[in-house]
Structure 1
Amino acid sequence: MPSLRLLTVNARTARLDHDALARRISATMPDVVCLHGAPSLLRWRSVSAALARRSGLVVIGGGRTGGGNLLLGNLGVDENAVAEVTFDGHRGPRPPGAALAGLARLGSPFVLVGARMSGDGPAQRRQLDQIEKRMVELDPAGPPAVICVDGAGPGVAVALQDGRFSAVPGVFVDARITVGATREGVVELTLP
């Protein structure tokens, strides 16, 4: 059963200091990263790629087209499919949304989701429905999922715990995945 080191971090806490953010990511040696508040304005693709490179990782997917959620991984994680969704009913330069990726670590498949939600309870429930629908489209086999959410209200947090549990605040892990220690913001997971 392969292990997986997950780091979830909000780029806004680094106050747009991409060098400090890259050092923080690199120091924790994660297998996968879910970065909320990722670069999403001018030249966001090249800025995201440079951030990944300085962190010793590669871009899996996301960014502006994934609601400001960027998924990064090391070369020990295989990418099978990537999807992005912008939630309905939002306009502006930074609409909420999600980045999803069907991945595998040492042959064990899993889905990684980074999402930024907004609005009231019913709006967030509709956003969760969009994520779950896209997860099924991404991989109908239904591998275990790790969902990292920024901005989830209490109602949707309860819905996210259906078949999952909260490993740390904002990270909901499929019950088939074993959660180990949390050190330096990294959650140690064991895939089935």
Structure 2
Amino acid sequence: MPSPVGHTFAGICGFVLARPYVAWHQQTRLLYGSLFFTNLPDIDILPGLLLLGNPGAFHRQATHSLIVAALIGIFVAWLVGRWRLNRLRWGIWAALVYGSHIILDMLVADPTAPFGVQALWPFSLEYFISPVTIFARFDYFNPELGMVRTILSIPNFLGILWEIVVLTPLVGLAWYGFGTTERRKPLGR
């Protein structure tokens, strides 16, 4: 999987693409929402870390499912409907921002089995990975190094640099190609 930095770049793209449709005083919330939803699938690191001392024990499973992304979209649609906002648009936006995490994880060169993510959980326990991988795996834990030294390792640092090189043009494209400052019809209404 890419690092949280790589996923954050995807969240910034989600923010930039929706930003023209949101009033300026709501854009900070939009940014926080984008960053939250794009990193949310990695919440599965916590049970392994807290219960077993291994952050990878449950990683890349249920929370890395496109089905869960759709459920997140449905939840957001329900939630924003209570605020009288456009349910369909915000539900699709949340599902896509959440789903960007899963897509990025499928583009990782995964050196250990099982390879990829359980993208169709709960309907399939099979792991899926792209035949073309462009990111290095970000490791949270190596028993020989411990968690902190693993996170701060040179391979992780180099992987983060590569994510920045690959994803910065996408943020730029979103910003300059689609994220114009021209006011558009609000997504919320």
TM, length-normalised to structure 2? 0.30
Indicate the structure whose relative CO is greater, using CA pairs within 8 Å and at least 6 residues apart.
2
Q: What is the TM-score of this pair, normalised by structure 1? A: 0.29
Q: Which has the higher helix share?
A: 2
Larger radius of gyration: 2
